[in-house]
Structure 1
Amino acid sequence: MNADIIRLWPEPLAQIDDDSLLATYEFPEGPWLRMNFVSSIDGAATRDGRSGGLGGDGDGRLFELLRRQADVILVGGGTVRTEGYGAMRLANDAVAWRRDHGMEEQPVLALVSGSLDLDPKSDVFTEAPVRPIIYTVSTAPAERREALSAVADIVPAGTEHLDPWLVREDLAARGLVHIHSEGGPSLFGSFIVAGAVDEICLTVAATLEAGDARRIANSAQALPTGMRIAAVLKCEDELFLRCMHTATDI
């Protein structure tokens, strides 16, 4: 397949190169949390249980570029298991780009897990180029906390329920202000309800799925949150939307 991406709005641009894509999605100064998701036209967040089945070549290209800009990649523990995450290690060209832009060579991987149902022997930890962070609740099982503390920093961010703002505040205190989150739906939902999402980058896959797949955001509560479109791009039949909270500007 062809992974050429064109920008439709603002300022249409045909066959946009990587530098122009990165400029289109540039983080603003200061703390910022971006969510990145793919969805079918009818709202399915997964195919056969995984989001990776929905995205095409254009989505894959953009997925890798968006990671390049981030200080930290934030992801839920369930998503790590379901999507088969390995060590968070960027390719050499991304490392060179980060070095040229005064960034650390690799982003930090931060996981969110109230249960700490994570394998400390997983490549996510044992092959990580930078020590990961795990945000959890103070009531998480002590034996799992002890096992994982050998391979990651364990940070309580709530008692029984994780507080998204405590996560953001701790990351900012570590100098990790540009947060790129890859979900999943429960994490996204909790951050929406907390008012902690600045931006979403959404790939709309040209497919109808039906079935019982989840939406990209799930929570027990609802909090309607106004967003504005900042950019629209396209690759073949995939559509890419960059949307920001209406209270923010760059």
Structure 2
Amino acid sequence: MTDIPRIVSASEITDDQLVELYDFPPNSGSWLRANFVVSVDGAIATNGSSSGLTNPLDQRVLKLLRDLSDVVLVGASTIRIEDYIGIKISEAGHARRLSRGLAPVPPIAVVSGRADIDPESRLLTRTTVPPIILTTMSAPTAAKRNLEAAGAQVIELGSTHIETHAIVETLAELGLQRIVCEGGPKLTGQLVADHALDELCVTTAPILLSGNANRVTHSERHAQMKMRCSHIIFDSDGTQLARWVRRTEAAAVTD
């Protein structure tokens, strides 16, 4: 039977219903989802940041996805552009995490081949959980030492390039299997090119943006993944929130 997306009104949805819609599949092992907000024509930023596209419901879902995850995966450029701080969890979020056997607060794992993160940035100075820096052996030694001195856990993956399988396997070895990736497009493009992305949660803002803003994925390698829509939420301002899950061969045959 074909899966029919559930269309849900945002004005009536509760936190428990959002959890039901966005919860990770049971017994899925490592599961990698990405979360983005875009304009109608696919831009992921206005004036260099996603803040001009988001709305309260999108922020609510963003926080929920973090509540449900073991770790938040982000590329170094996004960390700098969005001026990330450590993850903050609400009281309800803490209760939700503890009920699932999760750590009180998820760490942020940053992919940076050059370890190019300011040790005095808010990522390290405004956090309760030290970030994990996934870098390379060829990254400057001084940069790695400075990040470690600032409290980060620095892990070298590969000599000059960080492979997708190394990211997923290393996080799994740390007990971090439920991953939410918040960008940027090069990192997400790599995940898609390597067929490692299990789902994409995308909020579409009712805005058209011309110009040369990035799209959700960017890669020099071509890849195609078939997806199915799990649900769509319509907000009163026209914003749409959809969850797209990778179609397995078995699901494709059933469809």
Taking structure 2 as the reference length, what is the TM-score of the superposition? 0.90
**Equivalence for 2:108:** 109
1:243 paired with 2:244, answer yes
Q: Secondary structure at the match of 2:19?
A: helix
Structure 1 residue 158: Cα displacement: 2.3
**Equivalence for 1:21:** 18
1:222 paired with 2:222, answer yes
Cα distance between partner residues in 1 of 2:160 and 2:180: 25
Does the 8 Å contact 2:35/2:201 carry over to 1? Answer: yes
Q: Secondary structure at the match of 2:105?
A: coil
Structure 1 residue 249: Cα displacement: 8.4
Q: Secondary structure at the match of 1:149?
A: helix
Structure 1 residue 93: Cα displacement: 2.3
Identical aligned residues as a percent: 36
**Counterpart AA for 2:138:** T
Does the 8 Å contact 1:88/1:124 carry over to 2? Answer: no
Does the 8 Å contact 1:198/1:248 carry over to 2? Answer: no
Cα distance between partner residues in 2 of 1:248 and 1:217: 23
**Equivalence for 2:197:** 197
Q: Secondary structure at the match of 2:74?
A: strand
Structure 1 residue 117: Cα displacement: 1.5
Q: Secondary structure at the match of 2:12?
A: coil
- CA deviation digits over 1:182-212, x for unaligned, max 9? 0011110111111110010000111100111
Higher fraction of helix: 2
**Counterpart AA for 1:169:** E
**Equivalence for 2:6:** 10
The equivalences for 1:131-210 within 5 A come to: 131-150=130-149, 151-210=151-210
Does the 8 Å contact 2:7/2:231 carry over to 1? Answer: no
**Equivalence for 1:88:** 87
**Counterpart AA for 1:201:** C
**Equivalence for 1:49:** 48
How many residues are matched?
243
Q: Which runs of 4+ in 1 moved over 4 A?
A: 11-14
Cα distance between partner residues in 1 of 2:94 and 2:8: 29
> What is the root-mean-square deviation in Å for CA atoms of aligned residues?
1.8
